[in-house]
Amino acid sequence: MKLLSADKITMKFGGLTAVKDFSLELNKGEIVALIGPNGAGKTTAFNMITGVYTPTEGKIFLNKEKISGLKPDAITKKGIARTFQNIRLFGELSVLDNVLIANHLHLKSMFLEGMFKLPRYRREEKEMIEKSLELLKRVDLYDLKDEKASSLPYGKQRRLEIARGLATNPEIMLLDEPAAGMNPKESDELTSFINEIRNEFGLTIFMIEHHMPLVMGISDRIYVLDHGVTIAHGTPYEIQNNSKVIEAYLGVKEDA
């Protein structure tokens, strides 16, 4: 079942074309990777999907509904969550509070109801706390719920950032270089964690990643960008043996 599609989306900044005619399909339950050399346009593609940029050309659809041109918060409400290469947690707040903030996205109470602690807000607040605590149990962070986010080890911070995304009830989770800065043990734990949340939460996952063992070990399909253009798309085996991909990464012809 196709959840998200991008139809030849292009992003231009003045005279510079960062991404050209990028097409994408994400099917329910898949883990799909987007790889390519630095400066290939991967983050720009993410930014178009999540509403940071509106494509100069082309359209993006989620469940057959056009979402290109919507603001990031509207796209999040429709079911797309995102993490960033540089972890963006509220470092001075607790682990629990970081997840609670994400839960506020779906609050139905009005501003004044919250200000005066009216019954509907109190009821929703209680439900949010219960939901957040349950989520922390499911991602193995419950015992750290009262710790400052900034005090967590790097791998746990990344797990918390993903948990915060899960709190928005996404169908699709976009992970921007989730293994960046991790040691081998943390990378292995992350690989297992991504598989676990895909299965437990019924997610579709789209990720940018440079750590090739993770990409090849976990992805169902892979897209490869180079200088803003898609040069390959296929299974991990097909990508590993693609001459254009080898040349883009190594800078030499395959038979050199």
**What are the residue ranges spanned by the domains of the chain?**
2-93+154-250
Q: For residue range 192-234, what is the model confidence (pLDDT) as tens digits?
A: 999 999 999 999 999 999 999 999 999 999 999 999 999 999 9
* Ranges of residues in the chain whose predicted pLDDT is under 70: 105-121, 250-256
pTM (2 d.p.): 0.89
Give the span between the Cα atoms of 103 and 206, in whole angstroms: 22
Instruction: Sheet containing 16-27: give its strands across.
Output: 16-27, 2-13, 57-62, 65-66
pLDDT at site 254: 46
Task: For residue 212, count other CB atoms closer than 10 A to its CB.
Answer: 14
* Overall fold of domain 2-93+154-250: Rossmann fold (3.40.50)
